[in-house]
Amino acid sequence: MKIAGSVALVTGADRGLGRAFARELVSRNAARVYGAARDPAAVTEPGVTPVALDITDPERVARVARECADVTLLVNNAGVMKASPFIGAPSLDAARLEMEVNYFGTLSMCRAFAPVLAAGGGGAIVNMLSVTSFFTSPLDPSYSASKAAELSLTNGVRMELSRQGTLVVAVHAGFIDTDMAAGIDAPKISPESVAQQAFDAVEAGDIEVLTDERSKSIKASLSRDHELIYPPLQQAFFGAPVGGSA
């Protein structure tokens, strides 16, 4: 599908990667770019039409799908990361919020916009996932679970929507240089590069984008994850030997 002439909606378009997605769509001559955000006044990118949207509000999601019935490209970018462990967290609040936004919010958007995309001839969905969709990071364990769930829904939605000709693209990244990774001292890819690679994939009809070295190396290690991925993390973060009881 061509970005030029498409009508796109980006969630979380007020800052970070969402803003970069919206800017890239404008620069590629999308016919219209809806910038959805909880605070639409914060969507200030030239050429972007602000839309009020909290993706965890099902009534609002349904209304936006009715109001933006010309959308041919849905970019599910909005997400939250609370850097919360499973056992050490004081409550389930962070884990629930991450699931609510990253999994249920994205699922809700896919469901609401599936008929809109079908009416427009198929179109495409871009789901912004993570390298943590592939493995559990000790930095953000419950976020990793929500991003793994979001990958699972992405694969399922792709199969379900194949009959209506909708391309469903999974985009993975390690650290991106935005507010979400501000506290991390590690190599980060630019949001502009992620946006460019994602829309190159839409135009090429690719279903998966591994935007950086971290995503590529983790995915390549998955068949031996209990040798290559988890033992070094366990050692580095918990100082504990590999395996269970001696």
Ligand X SMILES: NC(=O)c1ccc[n+]([C@@H]2O[C@H](COP(=O)([O-])OP(=O)(O)OC[C@H]3O[C@@H](n4cnc5c(N)ncnc54)[C@H](OP(=O)(O)O)[C@@H]3O)[C@@H](O)[C@H]2O)c1
What is the rounded distance in angstroms from the CA atom of residue 204 to the CA atom of residue 1? Answer: 7
- Per-residue contact track with ligand X, 174 to 193, x per CB under 6 A? -xx-xxxx------------
Output 67 or 227, the one with its CB closest to ligand X.
67
How far apart are CB 172 and ligand X at their closest, in Å?
A: 7
Per-residue tokens: 122:
């198929």
DSSP state of 165: T
Alpha-carbon distance values, 20 to 3, 33, 148, 176, 198 (Å):
15, 12, 24, 11, 11
In contact, 116 and 73? CB cutoff 8 Å: no
Residue 103 is among the residues annotated as catalytic for this protein:
no
How far apart are CB 244 and ligand X at their closest, in Å?
A: 31
How far apart are CB 152 and ligand X at their closest, in Å?
A: 15
Q: Select the residue interacting with ligand X from 1, 6, 14, 117 (CB under 6 A).
A: 14
Per-residue tokens: 40:
């639409």
What is the rounded distance in angstroms from the CA atom of residue 9 to the CA atom of residue 70? Answer: 10
Site for ligand X in 102-141 (CB under 6 A): 105, 128, 130
Output 32 or 172, the one with its CB closest to ligand X.
172
Which residue, among 85, 64, 87, has the nearest Cα to 74 in the 3D structure? 64
Site for ligand X in 41-100 (CB under 6 A): 53-56, 77-81
Contact residues for ligand X (CB under 6 A)? 11-12, 14-18, 37-39, 53-56, 77-81, 101, 105, 128, 130, 173, 175-176, 178-181
Active-site amino acid positions:
143
